[in-house]
Amino acid sequence: MAIDIFHAVEQNMWPVLKTTLSLFWGLMAFISETQF
């Protein structure tokens, strides 16, 4: 049961994590471009 709950949470969190990471990398690229 706990594994099923963990799997469901993992499925729900993965798109959020991917979106957060892509936004973070885009922000870092934007900052590095504006600094130099």
Alpha helical stretches, state H, 1-36 = 2-35
Q: What pLDDT tens digit does each residue of the chain (36 aa) get? A: 678 988 888 888 999 999 999 999 999 999 998 876
Question: What pLDDT is stored for residue 18 in this prediction?
Answer: 94
Q: pTM for the full model?
A: 0.53
d(CA 32, CA 27): 9
Q: Tell me, what amino acid is at 13?
A: M
Question: What pLDDT is stored for residue 36 in this prediction?
Answer: 63
As a whole number of angstroms, the longest Cα–Cα distance in the chain is 52
Distance from the Cα of residue 3 to its chain's centroid: 22
Question: What pLDDT is stored for residue 24 in this prediction?
Answer: 96
Where exactly are the structural domains of the chain? 1-35
Question: What pLDDT is stored for residue 35 in this prediction?
Answer: 78
